[in-house]
Structure 1
Amino acid sequence: MAPYESSSSSSNPKEVFIPSYVKAISGSLGGLVEACCLQPIDVIKTRLQLDRSGYYKGIVDCGVKIVKDEGVRALWKGLTPFATHLTLKYTLRMGSNAVLQKHLRDPGTGELSNSARLISGFGAGVLEAIIIVTPFEVVKIRLQQQKGLAPELLRYKGPIHCAFSIVRDEGFLGLWAGAAPTVMRNGINQAAMFTAKSTFDRVLWKKYEGDGQTLQPWQSMISGFLAGCVGPVATGPFDVVKTRLMAQNRLAGSEVVKYNGMIHAIRTIYSEEGLLALWKGLLPRLMRIPPGQAIVWAVADQVIGLYEKRVLKQS
């Protein structure tokens, strides 16, 4: 979203510039809350995407089998890297999007066009994918694909051990396995999400950023939920390919690497498993991402709203 919305409407009589650091803080707090609430859905999504044998029959069956075979704690596997990753990701996403939008505004009118909003969102998604998302998700997926809880039976003992093991065995770039589909997924997701969130705020609640109006948490959750529904459908194949590439082990003498890159993975999955396999895990993504965006924006909008009210009160 933009630092401020330019509008001549009486519904937005006074504009307040919202610094990027305020956006960054609001995103980090929202990401922390989201991670704690939705980690089980992410574990189920990963297991479904990695399942080639049909062991899991669906979301509920997958969750039940994980609890039965590995215990309830297994649903929170990878929480530490997931929570850290989300906190850093939203900090970078919200802050960089605000900076990009500031520089893409019309210098004369201060207005932000729809194309500039899309470009800002895509740019924020690309930055977060390269800097934060890819290495953290590689570690998270490697941890989540391990079955069981007995430490002596697990290859990776924790997120730090996992990261060091990947670097030692596969090289530093092993932490960036699946970077290409991650960049495409996150870029498209954020372009759609920031544009949709701003649109829903204006259409549903007549809310313009910088107008001093703070949405109720339930209003932010509705806008965030709706905005979060578009990306998963559009980026399903990139997410499946990303997961498959990240889960591959490149150790000499281990299982032969099945996928040689994003395009090869898409072709292989399509030829061997069918078109719908490229959208495996879509339902748990829709169960996780839109509610996640609802949680993030419910927190973020309150933080931003407090800043708006404080600045308006002092001015």
Structure 2
Amino acid sequence: MSPYRPNPFFSTTNTFFVPSVGDKVDNAVAQAKALGQDAQSRASELAGKADNKFQDAKEAVKVTAEDAAGAPQGIDLYSRFALAGALGCAVTHGALTPVDVVKTRIQLEPEVYNKGMVGGFRQIIANEGAGALLTGFGPTAVGYAIQGAFKFGGYEFWKKKAIDVLGVDKARENRQAVYLGASAIAEFFADIALCPLEATRIRLVSQPSFATGLASGFLRIAREEGPAAFYAGFGPILFKQVPYTMAKFAVFEVASEKILQATGKSKDSLTSGQSTGLNLSAGLIAGMAAAVISQPADTLLSKINKTKGAPGQSTTSRLVQMAGQLGVSGLFTGMSARLVMIGTLTAGQFLIYGDIKKALNATGGVEIAAIPK
């Protein structure tokens, strides 16, 4: 029988380290406290940041509300747009009356006035005196003041209506359609007001002996031909003015947007001089595009207001007959003169309109152009 040897595994000389449950609990509590303190610190930091942001937002809302309270709204705002548009159109069209007289003569009597713009000026001054260049100034200034009020004020109004219906994001995505639609509707109503005065102006320019001025010319047409005579050119004036105005506003908006994108600046960040340059540049581009688009109808409008139609002949048949007689080249007679006139006129209109809007504090509205913020 072999002697007993105790198993070393169970020997009392072997010692095992067994962490106590109490130590584990103490460590866990310490870690939890540390995590709790860290979380509390982070929560306090986030709360402070949130409070700062809330205060900033509160202040921004306060400033916005104060600005809104002092800015014109509703009919007050749109009447200011209309006034700015009226002044812009009256000043520019009135100042360019001599150019318009020469242009109209070239269109109506190309066989006589066939020496270009400068030659036309010389012919009129030599034959009728310098005062003849201001023929039709009265109906031009008054008529285009009324039209400018409806055109610019109406454009702002209908553009805002479209934005309200579509929403800002959808309107921005479809901004070209908004520009074109708003300008077309505005011009339709503007032409209703313009047509009688434009008919009187053309009659005075084409027949200098017809009357001595706006009032006498207007009354003579009404007396001899009836009120319907004032709207004999309504079809062609719509045909001319609606595409013209659609191109004018849409191209101006696009040109302004592209110029701002190229410079990386927003409208609000522009200096006074930069704003002037923007309006002039975009306005000139818009005016030249609009002049080309509306040239054929402008020629027809001058022709149809020069003479009476045959008894029973409709305006449409007269227009078709005239267009056939003139041909493409005839419809674009006086194009160079009109490019100069409309390009300059449109640039001046947007310049004056923008400056007067600022002076009248009529800068409210929603911006839908894709321009830098």
Common topology (TM > 0.5): yes
Q: Which moved more, 1:259-268 or 1:75-84?
A: 259-268
Q: Which residue of 1 aligns with 2:290?
A: 231
The aligned runs of 1:49-128 (5 Å cut-off) are 49-51=107-109, 53-107=111-165, 109-111=167-169, 112=171, 113=174, 114-128=176-190
Task: Indicate the structure with greater helix content.
Answer: 2
Unaligned runs of 5+ in 1: 1-13, 148-153, 251-255
- Compute the RMSD of aligned alpha carbons: 2.8
Matched, 1:261 2:301: no
Which of 322, 326, 336 matches 1:283?
336
Question: Mind listing any 5+ residue stretches in structure 2 that lack a counterpart?
Answer: 1-63, 365-373
Aligned residue for 2:96, secondary structure, equals helix
Please say if residues 93 and 140 of structure 2, whose CA atoms lie closer than 8 Å, have aligned partners that are also in contact. yes
User: How big is the shift at 1:21?
Assistant: 2.2
What is aligned with 1:300? 353
Greater RCO between the two (CA within 8 Å, min separation 6)? 1
**2:78 matched to which residue of 1?**
20
Q: What fraction of aligned residue pairs are identical, expressed as a percent?
A: 22
Alignment of 1:153-232 (within 5 A): 154-206=209-261, 211=268, 213=270, 215-232=274-291
2:81 aligned counterpart, secondary structure:
helix
What residue number does 2:302 align with?
Answer: 243
Matched-pair contact (CA < 8 Å) for 2:247–2:289: yes
Query: What residue identity is the alignment partner of 1:137?
Result: E
What secondary structure, in the 3-state scheme, does the structure 2 residue paired with 1:155 have? coil
Partner Cα distance (1:166, 1:53) in 2: 27
CA offset digits 1:164-207 (Å, max 9, x no partner):
11111111111112110101211111111111111122211357
Once residues 249 and 49 of structure 1 are traced to their aligned partners in structure 2, the CA distance between those partners, rounded to angstroms, is 17
Matched, 1:40 2:98: yes
Measured in 1, the distance between the counterparts of 2:200 and 2:163 equals: 38
Which residue does 1:151 correspond to in 2? none
Question: Equivalent residue of 2:207, what SS?
Answer: coil
Distance 2:349 2:166 in 1: 33
CA distance in structure 1 between the partners assigned to 2:291 and 2:347 by the alignment: 15
Distance 1:258 1:55 in 2: 32
SS of structure 2 residue aligned to 1:216:
helix
- Equivalents in 2 of 1:230, 1:108: separation in Å? 28
Secondary structure, aligned partner of 1:99: helix
Contact 2:81/2:153 (<8 A) preserved: yes
Mapped to 2, the partners of 1:35 and 1:77 lie a distance apart of 13
- 1:237 and 1:266 in contact (8 A); partners too: no
In 2: Cα distance, 1:191 partner to 1:263 partner: 26
Contact 1:130–1:183 (8 Å) recurs in 2: no
Q: CA deviation at 1:306?
A: 4.0
